[in-house]
């Protein structure tokens, strides 16, 4: 009997996906470059399961029923190319290759063309949910050959997280649409994480609250409009006591945030296509600044700031903080979805943003109750330019923007950085301003570079010799 599904790469994601797929009734053949990992997996986790160990790519390909369906779960970048270089020649017309890693979308486009040239089907597929999601149900964002998706849709629907509106998997379009959606998902993830970290900083340094008190606040937020996986885990993190020291573990963790690249790629692409995603960008830069630990430590001694404490009524500030976090989180989704809208228009993907919201409802890191409202907004208005223009987000802005302004202003007064909240406020303020000062920028460009400008009172393109005497 040949196996129905193949997995290459048995690190955290590959192992757990193999167990998930087998658990849903499919036989799986697995291969990993280092044989020891395969052996260990079979002995420890996959014993007695319909999981066939393979010790070469040839053996894997041989053990699969046709058309073969092979999922790659290896490190993104060169390792993926190294595997594909060997795998492609072994496959036959009509076989399907799914790259489930966090590939850069440009790599996906290139690999897809290569697969196509060989008569193979290819799906660049973002898989979110980490170790737990891989085992119990991830969110699956596929793009590439539609015929390929049709071959695997049944399996994806079974292994995916089961959300309130169906299995959290979908085909998003040709080319790299799937990996692009996953990349922007990660960009939003960066922005929401930064927003929650800023709230923690304001409560800790600004209000001198204990971890237990802050956990209570996140716990309360998780009961309402901000209910989400990231708020939920933040509460749990703040409650976790280090067994070694008896103190909150979070306070023992070095404050330099690492990154694997998807937030950066998301921002780079936003700049390339000219879509405004400042809150996601600021979250990436916040991680970059956090990495400058030694410099920051020196600068703290040299550069003075104001007194750190936020004076005034604590409960009032916490109430404002909820509004500030809520609007900033909405801004993160709004910017990410706008980026998807613009990327789809540029590349002709025909991306359905209500489907994107549906797939993100469970299994993935940015799952939240907000996504139910976001999906509804895009179902009602598929070409919605920005979430804030639709209800209930417009009303949320109206209700909370003063709170966001107060929080940002007080954070600045206290010298506590809030780049995500600040950028969200500036973003919406700029977006809702009919006349921005860009007229002056156009005049400056024309002054030093003769770049020309347009006028508001007549048609045409104009250039002025600005230093000529009038
Ligand atoms: P890693 O990203 O840590 O990759 C390890 C795997 O890549 C191992 O199987 C390793 O084989 C294999 N590999 C490497 Br490294 N170089 C190789 C090469 N030249 N040829 C063949 N295989 C090679 O694993 P992961 O954390 O399970 O993630 C897998 C993919 O899923 C990545 O693209 C990741 O970005 C993505 N992803 C991860 C998560 C997560 O939470 N971890 C979530 C969502 C998506 P070896 O055993 O021989 O070294």
pLDDT single digits (tens) 380-408: 999 999 999 999 999 999 999 999 999 99
Stretch 248-265: mean pLDDT: 94
| Ligand 1 atom closest to the CA of 12, numbered from 1 | 27
CA of 286 to the centre of ligand 1 (A): 26
Euclidean distance between CA atoms 416 and 456, whole angstroms: 41
Stretch 122-126: mean pLDDT: 98
pLDDT score for 87: 98
On average, the pLDDT of the chain sits at 97
Q: Which homologous superfamily does the CATH classification assign to the domain defined by 436-470?
A: 6-Phosphogluconate Dehydrogenase, domain 3 (1.20.5.320)
Stretch 198-209: mean pLDDT: 98
* pLDDT reading at 2 higher than 90: yes
Stretch 333-353: mean pLDDT: 98
* pLDDT reading at 1 higher than 90: no
* pLDDT reading at 11 higher than 80: yes
| Ligand 1 atom closest to the CA of 78, numbered from 1 | 19
CATH of domain 5-175: 3.40.50.720
What SS3 string covers the chain?
Answer: CCECEEEECCCHHHHHHHHHHHHCCCCEEEECCCHHHHHHHHHHCCCCCCEEEECCHHHHHHCECCCCEEEECCCCCHHHHHHHHHHHHHCCCCCEEEECCCCCHHHHHHHHHHHHHCCCEEEEEEEECHHHHHHHCCEEEEEECHHHHHHHHHHHHHHCCEECCEECEEECCCCCHHHHHHHHHHHHHHHHHHHHHHHHHHHHHHHCCCHHHHHHHHHHHCCCCCCEHHHHHHHHHHHCECCCCCCEHHHHCCCCCCCCCHHHHHHHHHHHHCCCCHHHHHHHHHHHHHCCHHHHHHHHHHCCCCCCCCCCCHHHHHHHHHHHHHHHHHHHHHHHHHHHHHHHHHHCCCCCHHHHHHHCCCCCCCCECHHHHHHHHHHHCCCCCCHHHCCCHHHHHHHHHHHHHHHHHHHHHHCCCCHHHHHHHHHHHHHCCCCCCHHHHHHHHHHHHCCCECCCCCCCCECCCCCCCC
pLDDT single digits (tens) 210-245: 999 999 999 999 999 999 999 999 999 999 999 999
CA of 10 to the centre of ligand 1 (A): 8
Confidence band for 470, pLDDT divided at 50, 70 and 90: low
Confidence band for 264, pLDDT divided at 50, 70 and 90: very high
Where does the chain hold its CATH 1.10.1040.10 domain(s)? 182-431
Instruction: Kindly report which listed range (195-199, 260-264, 272-276) carries the lowest average pLDDT score.
Output: 260-264
Residue nearest to atom 6 of ligand 1 (CA): 74
pLDDT score for 469: 72
pLDDT score for 112: 98
CB 70, CB 6: distance < 8 Å:
yes
Where does the chain hold its CATH 1.20.5.320 domain(s)? 436-470
189 is known as an active-site residue: yes
In this prediction the pTM is 0.96
pLDDT score for 252: 98
CA of 4 to the centre of ligand 1 (A): 22
| Ligand 1 atom closest to the CA of 103, numbered from 1 | 33
Euclidean distance between CA atoms 235 and 238, whole angstroms: 5
pLDDT score for 259: 87
Fold of 182-431: 1.10.1040
pLDDT score for 260: 85
CA of 403 to the centre of ligand 1 (A): 43
pLDDT score for 86: 98
Q: What percent of the chain has pLDDT over 90?
A: 98
Residue nearest to atom 24 of ligand 1 (CA): 11
Q: Is the CB of 210 under 6 A from ligand 1?
A: no
pLDDT score for 174: 98
Where does the chain hold its CATH 3.40.50.720 domain(s)? 5-175
Q: Is the CB of 175 under 6 A from ligand 1?
A: no
pLDDT single digits (tens) 79-111: 999 999 999 999 999 999 999 999 999 999 999
Residue nearest to atom 31 of ligand 1 (CA): 101
Residue nearest to atom 3 of ligand 1 (CA): 75
* pLDDT reading at 434 higher than 90: yes
Q: Is the CB of 120 under 6 A from ligand 1?
A: no
Residue nearest to atom 35 of ligand 1 (CA): 102
Stretch 350-373: mean pLDDT: 97
pLDDT single digits (tens) 21-62: 999 999 999 999 999 999 999 999 999 999 999 999 999 999
CA of 368 to the centre of ligand 1 (A): 27
Residue nearest to atom 12 of ligand 1 (CA): 74
Mutate to test the pocket of ligand 1, among 33, 55, 74 (most ligand atoms within 8 A of CB): 74
182 is known as an active-site residue: yes
pLDDT single digits (tens) 162-201: 999 999 999 999 999 999 999 999 999 999 999 999 999 9
Stretch 121-150: mean pLDDT: 97
Q: What percent of the chain has pLDDT over 70?
A: 100
- Which one of the listed residues 182, 194, 235, 264 is annotated catalytic? 182
Q: Is the CB of 33 under 6 A from ligand 1?
A: yes
Q: Is the CB of 32 under 6 A from ligand 1?
A: yes
Residue nearest to atom 42 of ligand 1 (CA): 130
């Amino acid at each position: 009997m040949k196996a129905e599904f193949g997995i290459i790469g048995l690190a955290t994601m590959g192992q757990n996906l193999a167990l998930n797929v087998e658990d849903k009734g499919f036989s799986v053949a697995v291969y990993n470059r280092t044989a020891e990992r395969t052996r260990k997996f079979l002995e420890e986790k996959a014993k007695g399961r319909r999981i066939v160990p393979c010790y070469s790519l040839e053996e894997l390909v041989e053990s699969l029923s046709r058309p073969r369906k092979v999922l790659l779960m290896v490190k993104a970048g060169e390792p993926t190319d190294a595997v594909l270089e060997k795998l492609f020649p072994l496959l036959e017309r009509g076989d399907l290759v799914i790259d489930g890693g966090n590939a850069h979308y440009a790599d996906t486009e290139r690999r897809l063309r290569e697969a196509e040239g060989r008569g193979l089907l290819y799906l660049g597929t973002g898989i979110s949910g980490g170790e737990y999601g891989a085992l119990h149900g991830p969110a699956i964002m596929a793009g590439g050959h539609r015929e390929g998706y049709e071959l695997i849709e049944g399996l994806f629907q079974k292994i995916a997280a089961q959300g309130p509106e169906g299995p959290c998997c979908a085909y998003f379009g040709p080319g790299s649409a799937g990996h692009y959606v996953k990349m922007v998902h990660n960009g939003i993830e960066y922005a929401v994480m930064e927003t929650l970290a800023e709230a923690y900083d304001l409560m800790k340094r600004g209000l001198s609250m204990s971890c237990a008190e802050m956990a209570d606040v996140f716990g309360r937020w998780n009961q309402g409009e901000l209910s989400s996986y990231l708020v939920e885990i933040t509460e749990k993190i703040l409650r976790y006591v280090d067994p070694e020291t008896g103190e909150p573990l979070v306070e023992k963790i070095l404050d330099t945030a690492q990154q694997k690249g998807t937030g950066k790629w998301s921002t780079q692409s936003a700049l390339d296509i000219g879509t405004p995603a400042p809150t996601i960008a600021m979250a990436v830069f916040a991680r970059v600044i956090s990495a400058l630990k030694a410099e920051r430590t020196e600068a703290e001694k040299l550069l003075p700031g104001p007194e750190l404490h936020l004076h005034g009524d604590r409960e009032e500030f916490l109430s404002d903080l909820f509004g500030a976090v809520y609007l900033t989180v909405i801004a993160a989704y709004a910017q990410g979805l706008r980026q998807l809208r613009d990327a789809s228009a540029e590349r002709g993907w025909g991306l359905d943003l209500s489907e994107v919201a549906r797939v993100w409802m469970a299994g993935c890191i940015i799952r939240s109750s907000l996504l139910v409202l976001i999906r509804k907004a895009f179902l009602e208005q598929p070409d919605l330019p920005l979430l804030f223009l639709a209800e209930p987000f417009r009303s949320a802005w109206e209700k909370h923007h003063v709170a966001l302004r107060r929080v940002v202003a007080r954070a600045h007064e206290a010298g506590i950085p809030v780049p995500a909240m600040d950028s969200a406020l500036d973003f919406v303020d700029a977006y809702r301003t009919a006349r921005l000062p860009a007229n002056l920028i156009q005049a400056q460009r024309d002054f030093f570079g003769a770049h020309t400008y347009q006028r508001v009172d007549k048609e045409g393109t104009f250039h002025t010799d600005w230093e000529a005497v009038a």
